[in-house]
Amino acid sequence: MIQQLFIAPLTETYFQKALIGGSIVAVVAGVVGCLVVLRRMAFLGDALSHAMIAGVAGGYLVMKLLFGLEAHAPGMLIGSLLAAVVTVALIGFVSRISRVKEDTAIGIMYTGIFALGVVAVSMFRHYIHIDLMHFIMGDILGIADSDLWVSAFIGSLVITVLILFYRHFQLTTFDPVMAASIGLPVLLLDYLLTVCVSLVVVSAVSMVGVILVVGLLITPAATAYLLCDRLDRMMALAAFFGVTSVIGGLYLCVWLDSAGGGAIMLFCTLQFLAVLTVAPKYGLLARGLRLRSLVPQQMIEDILTTVLRYREPTPLEVIKRYVEDGAVLGRAIRRMIRDGLLEDRQGSYILTEKGEQEAAKVLRAHRLWEAYLEAIGTPQEYLHSTAHRLEHIRGGATEYLDEKLGRPEQDPHGRDIPDKKPRNTPPGSLSGRGEE
């Protein structure tokens, strides 16, 4: 069974060529794709791959009419590269001289140039023999030797450029302002990366088609992005995921008797979804666990002020009177003990020194809000309840109120307002048992 499922396909020449060619494309596309994903250029890769049909048609037509050569690979390669460069230039021109944003310009230019290629193929169909479905879907199981050599050469060239300019690309990707300030030619590096993307797309479309080349450029890099925060590791993982997509997709293609490009892209997408689910830091399961362990800051502050006002070891039943009960409350208390805010005294809780400081900040905010609310005419019966909702506001509101009120020392009920930097105070001076 294993022999038939796994070993037998490897003995077939078409499978070996597909495996080698697809792996070359996957490695190069995955490495370049990391910069594409980080720079949010994914739509540009799609644009270049679609715009290439105009270059293929032009190169095919020129070689046929001028030299009598049909399906001349170098001619179509040069035409495709020129089409990619023209597309990028037009996108940059439109986005610079008009109010149209770059993503909109990409959509306009690539669909227009793609349409130009389709019209050219239709008009000169007696000279140009291009199967548009093959161009879009690819035929990875029918890779020719010339395709392998072209992809190997261009792959080596692109990887060499990335190695030589790795630090430059890294800096312009994460901090282009700093890169420009230290004298790096940011615009030139952007064009160099665009040319690398164009070369990858041009060399791969003839083998794997438009859909698969865009998928291999984006999906493995996005998969790696879920697992690491370093560019070098991300590139290595993207290349790995690209190769595993090719291997898994080709076996899937043989087992299901389906299209090669579609099977590879399906496996690649399933691989992304699996990593998205189980990634230890950015995955769905990890996010769910973080959300389950999340404790609202407002609850923590309410517990702090409750224990502070009680002035002695506070039983859980007392805390429940003033803080919403439930599973979150127990989790909040455990977290506060772990963070050094509370101490457990045989089922009752007292504040640590750190906890007293944090509680004093919240109490200070509460009493300043009460003073402010009284100053603007809020009825006495609403002072506490309204201040209780407002005391959790952050962002300098407390200091603004303090300054606006002339730095008051007592709230409307005659209780002391804690200093900005709490100092040692007699027990009960800040608590106010009657404050409810």
Mean pLDDT of the chain: 83
What does the alpha-carbon distance between residue 239 and residue 64 come to, in Å, rounded to a whole number? 37
Confidence of residue 426 (pLDDT cuts 50, 70, 90): very low
- Asked whether the predicted pLDDT for residue 423 surpasses 50, the reply is no
Handedness of CA 206, 211, 212, 218 (dihedral sign): positive
Residue-wise pLDDT for 297-320, tens only, equals: 888 888 898 898 888 889 888 888
For residues 92-98, average pLDDT: 84
Confidence of residue 427 (pLDDT cuts 50, 70, 90): very low
User: Residue 432 has what pLDDT?
Assistant: 47
User: Residue 428 has what pLDDT?
Assistant: 45
**HEC secondary structure over 7-75:** HHHHCCHHHHHHHHHHHHHHHHHHHHHHHHHHCCCHHHHHHHHHHHHHHHHHHHHHHHHHHCCCCCHHH
Sheet harboring 342-345: ordered strands across? Answer: 314-315, 348-351, 342-345
Confidence of residue 219 (pLDDT cuts 50, 70, 90): very high
For residues 193-215, average pLDDT: 78
Residue-wise pLDDT for 321-335, tens only, equals: 888 766 688 888 888
Residue-wise pLDDT for 344-374, tens only, equals: 988 889 999 999 998 988 988 899 999 999 8
User: Residue 160 has what pLDDT?
Assistant: 95
71 CB-side CA count, 13 A: 7
Q: Mean pLDDT lowest for which of 64-73, 198-207, 242-251, 350-359?
A: 64-73
- Asked whether the predicted pLDDT for residue 425 surpasses 60, the reply is no
Residue-wise pLDDT for 240-294, tens only, equals: 999 999 999 999 988 888 878 888 989 999 999 999 999 998 999 998 888 777 7
For residue 152, which phi and psi values (nearest 5 degrees)? -65, -40
Burial track 206-240 (b if 16+ CB lie within 10 A, e otherwise) = bbbbbbbbbbbbbbbbbbbbbbbeebeebbbbbbb
Residue-wise pLDDT for 5-50, tens only, equals: 778 888 888 888 889 988 999 999 999 999 989 988 777 777 777 7
Residue-wise pLDDT for 128-159, tens only, equals: 666 666 666 667 888 888 778 888 998 999 99
Most confident of 70-84, 94-108, 268-282: 268-282
- Asked whether the predicted pLDDT for residue 195 surpasses 70, the reply is yes
Run of H or E residues at 345: strand 342-345
